[in-house]
Amino acid sequence: MFKKILIANRGEIALRVINTCKEMGVQTVAVYSDADEKAIHVLSSDEAVCLGAPEPLESYLNIDKIIKAAKDTNCQAIHPGYGFLAENYEFAKRCEREGIVFIGPGSKAIKDLGDKITSRKLMVKGNVPVTPGLTSTEADVDVMAAEAKKVGYPVLIKATAGGGGKGIRIVNSPDEMADACASASREALSAFGNGEIYFEKFFTEARHIEFQILADTFGNTIHVLERECSIQRRHQKIIEETPASVLTPELREKMGAVAVAAAKAAGYVNAGTVEFLLDAENNFYFLEINTRLQVEHPVTEMITGIDLVRQQLEIAAGNKLSLTQEDIMGRGHSIECRIYAEDPANNFFPSPGKIEFLKEPKGPGIRNDCGAYSGFDVPVDYDPIISKLVVHAQTRSQAIDKMIKALKEYIILGIRTPIDFLLDVLMSEPFSKGDVFTNFIETHFSDWEENLDEKDIAAIAYVVDELCNKRTKTDSVAHVAPTPFNTLGNWRL
């Protein structure tokens, strides 16, 4: 096993990796930008190296600086987390050249699977069903429109090098094609340096089902059950759960076998995720393979008891998988809610700033992978995720109840978060019934507005009063237990 690894990431995922490393006796080196000098992953690691300015290209996306940091601190391996350089094949290739172990798949697999067209061709060759659409890039709008007519509208324009909801546009008719192609290509070029696009059939009533996979260098590949990830905003997941209530044991076995076949077709090693689209008739189609640890991996860990980060390190160290497919069993139900610094009432616009007060929910079956704390400034430069709130219970209904309780106990003051929005989703009848599809938010919550109850109004009145400087020392009330509302001074919601 490695003696020391560098974590080329920040926030809650860096802390997640650090925690497993501590259990395994592996030393960790954190990297950070000037904006993250007091970040929790920096405070929790054994060593830390400053990369420089907050801009990602000067810090977390700077391959030269990260490689130098790993060498200067004598690290044997690098864990990329997710985001930033996690799916950058040039970074993995550089690690290979420098003799540093990249904790993830090989650079060739990352390159092949990072290009949507190449990955679709690999899956077709491996007899894995893919969504109807193009298997090559296309720049001619007329050709795109003609091919889309054959498949049937609506279609989804996608960036070949895309991910994270970037470079995606829904096209409902031929007259929308030109504008959709142009805007998707521009966004893709800006986000990935590659403006090439193609299209797939868009299913209005579909579910996003993904399978966690593990593969070692000895040819052993297994799946670690599925995750239901259909609750999305702007093509990004916000609520995930497992097991998927729509899957029968037979369908789960069939999709799991195809996920393993997909990983083998790509020559995949380490942890990854095979994503499928499941239509109303329970036909499923390959979407992509994410060549990294997923944000939603904790729900899989909760029902299986398997530490996926530990598995990543063991595989990267050259060890054989200690698990077989027969060993994989799920117990109970788990749900994850992503807590971002964002405003759901303003199209989920980022809400960076200082967290004046943070109180995490606690209790049996509650896990909060958090990358922030009271007083921490959420930077404007990076993805605004604060934490992943996860619960586990015996049944889905019990898990929903537990998550509702946990969200109600989660206090974050000073910035906007989607906690109230998530509560409304979890308490809605369609979610309770399991009627979740990728268009769930647009269908049921497109006009969502925050519900200000008496407590909220009282808090606002207090803030206004504080800002107006109308309170005096004689206004204080004795024998009242201190709360964030009367101990923080001037602050804003």
Phi first, then psi: what are they for 130, rounded to 5°? Answer: -115, 160
**The 3-state secondary structure of 41-103, one letter per residue:** HHHHCCEEEEEECCCHHHCCCCHHHHHHHHHHCCCCEEECCCCCCCCCHHHHHHHHHHCCEEC
Query: Residue type for 261, please?
Result: A
Q: Is 207 a catalytic residue?
A: no
Per DSSP, the residues of 157-192 read EEETT--TTTT-EEE-SGGGHHHHHHHHHHHHHHHH
* DSSP summary character for residue 202: P
Cis before 129? omega within 30:
no
**Residue ranges with strand state E in 384-452:** 385-393, 411-413
Give the separation between CA 230 and CA 223, rounded to whole angstroms: 20
Geometric angle at alpha carbon 412, from 407 and 417, rounded to 5° = 75
User: What are the distances in angstroms from CA 157 to CA 194, 343, 408?
Assistant: 14, 27, 38
Give the separation between CA 350 and CA 136, rounded to whole angstroms: 35
User: What are the distances in angstroms from CA 259 to CA 263, 285, 397?
Assistant: 6, 11, 28
Per DSSP, the residues of 385-399 read EEEEEEEEESSHHHH
Q: Half-sphere exposure of 24 toward its Cβ, with a 13 Å CA cutoff? A: 22
Q: Which two tokens stand for residue 162?
A: 């895309």
Instruction: Enumerate the β-bridge partners of residue 183.
Output: none
Q: Give Cα 125 distance to the centre of its chain.
A: 29
Active site residue: 16, 169, 292, 416, which one? 292
Q: Which two tokens stand for residue 469?
A: 């400087």
H or E element that contains 370: strand 366-370
**Catalytic site positions:** 292
